[in-house]
Amino acid sequence: MCKECHEQMGYQMFTLERKEKIAVVGINRPAKMNAINTQLLNEMDVLLDEIARDEGILAVVLKGSEKFFAAGGDLGEMNEFQSVMEGFRYGSCVQRVFMKLANLPQATIAAVSGLALGGGCELCLACDIRIADENARFGLPEITVGVLPGGGGTQRLPRLIGAGRAKELLFIGEPIDVQEAYRIGLVNRIVPTSLLLDVAISLAKKIAKRPRFGLQAIKKLVNEGLNMDLTSALSYETRCFGSLFGTEDQKEGVSAFLEKRKPAFQGK
């Protein structure tokens, strides 16, 4: 990745900028309202591998445009599918790439303006934190065209907001405004459109000041612990807790606290 701040990479459907220890990723398919097709997924797959390899990046901000984060899957492409197997392959590709996003070692923040529907909403769900502007709208309308969310919506949404609320959204398929999304826990916070990216980047920079191994351990514990029984998850937590005592950042953090100074974490 380019080390120069603000320099963009050569992806067709994404922009990628480096700002200190964070990466700002922009979805860039405006002619199709950032609809998700196979080419976009293939580029995203490569881009996520690039970010995951960069140990200098500790947080990622994912953004769309002011009017749409991502309007969903590309129905024009889907209309060309001629068999069950083609639908299965596409769904498998979406799930694999979105799972790669969910499992990135870095913290991820979705900065959502405008529409986040279908696959766009599922893309938000695969991020760790969601910040939205006053015009954001969220929904999983797949049922209205005879299919279902294939990018993790039926699984991540209930884990985030509860089964009952998730089923209502999934069964009816109508979008909700940002105030309702915040009320049910789909969105972490609402900010003015003019401040959306600044707030997301500010939060990302705050996260990026924390020790790398600690951040990675916490993310894995939360993500994987949700799929364990409590006893197993607590045992996993204890192992991760102990492992951090082998890092230089843990020693620096404790020393800084005792010496009443700010820690200088090195990611070691």
Q: Where in the sequence numbering do the catalytic residues fall?
A: 122, 142
Q: Nearest 5 degrees, angle CA 135-CA 25-CA 153?
A: 60
How far, in Å, CA of 73 to CA of 48, rounded? 19
Pairing of strands 14-19, 115-117: unpaired
Which tokens go with 52? 């995951």
How far, in Å, CA of 266 to CA of 44, rounded? 29
How far, in Å, CA of 258 to CA of 125, rounded? 39
Nearest to 190, CA basis, from 113, 109, 102: 113
Which tokens go with 235? 């045992």
Count of beta carbons in the 10 Å neighbourhood of residue 185: 12
Q: Which amino acid is at 101?
A: L
Contact 240, 233 (CB under 8 A): no
Which tokens go with 258? 């005792």
